[in-house]
């Protein structure tokens, strides 16, 4: 196990949380978008999908192969098509024949909660990286004595 593994794991967490924040900000920016660029209905909420990043490691001493965690990795962005809001606005340019306008399925309260969670997780990863750096620095100082 490398002494830098913890930093690599936390760095993958930072990347994930940054991508989540970008996705959340896109959702918030499009909360009232009733027509996308391709003209196919309202904006659809996006959610980041991720999983643990596992790597196979072979021991140099025993030649045994094992699976170790290497943090997380983004597997994609899921587009949620559920809960489109229909609002009766017959004068709206995007209204259907019955006068209903389809609005995005973005809930501002949920987006704000997701944003706060992502920020807190990002902060926790930064703290863990700084702690790892401090431990490595102290280990190097011990080695000099």
pLDDT value of position 145: 66
Taking only the tens place, the pLDDT of each residue in 63-112 is 788 888 889 999 999 998 888 999 999 999 888 999 999 999 999 999 99
Q: What is the pTM of this model?
A: 0.84
Three-state DSSP class for residue 81: coil
Q: What one-character-per-residue DSSP string does 59-122 give?
A: -TTT--EEEEEEEEEEEEEEEP-S--EEEE-TTSTT--TTSEEEE----HHHHHHHHHHHHHHH
Three-state DSSP class for residue 89: coil
pLDDT value of position 1: 52
Alpha-carbon separation of residue 119 from 27, 122, 144 (angstroms): 16, 5, 38
Residue ranges of domains in the chain: 5-31+46-79+106-144
In contact, 70 and 54? CB cutoff 8 Å: yes
Per-residue tokens: 6: 């913890």
pLDDT band at residue 59, thresholds of 50, 70 and 90? confident
Residues in the chain: 145
List, in sequence order, every residue forming a beta bridge with 55; answer none if it has no partner: 68
pLDDT value of position 17: 97
In contact, 46 and 27? CB cutoff 8 Å: yes
């Amino acid at each position: 196990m490398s002494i830098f593994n913890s930093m690599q794991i936390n760095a993958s967490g930072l990347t994930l949380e940054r991508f989540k924040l970008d996705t959340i900000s896109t959702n918030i920016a499009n909360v009232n978008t009733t027509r996308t660029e391709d003209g196919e209905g309202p904006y659809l909420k996006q959610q980041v999908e991720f999983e643990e990043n596992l790597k196979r490691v072979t021991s140099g001493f025993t030649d045994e192969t094992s699976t170790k965690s290497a943090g997380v990795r983004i597997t994609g962005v899921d587009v949620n098509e559920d809960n489109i809001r229909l609002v009766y606005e017959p004068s709206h340019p995007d209204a259907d024949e019955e006068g209903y306008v389809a609005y995005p399925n973005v809930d501002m309260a949920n987006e704000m909660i997701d944003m706060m969670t992502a920020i807190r997780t990002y902060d926790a990863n930064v703290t863990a990286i700084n702690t790892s750096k401090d431990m490595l620095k102290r280990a190097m100082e011990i080695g000099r004595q």
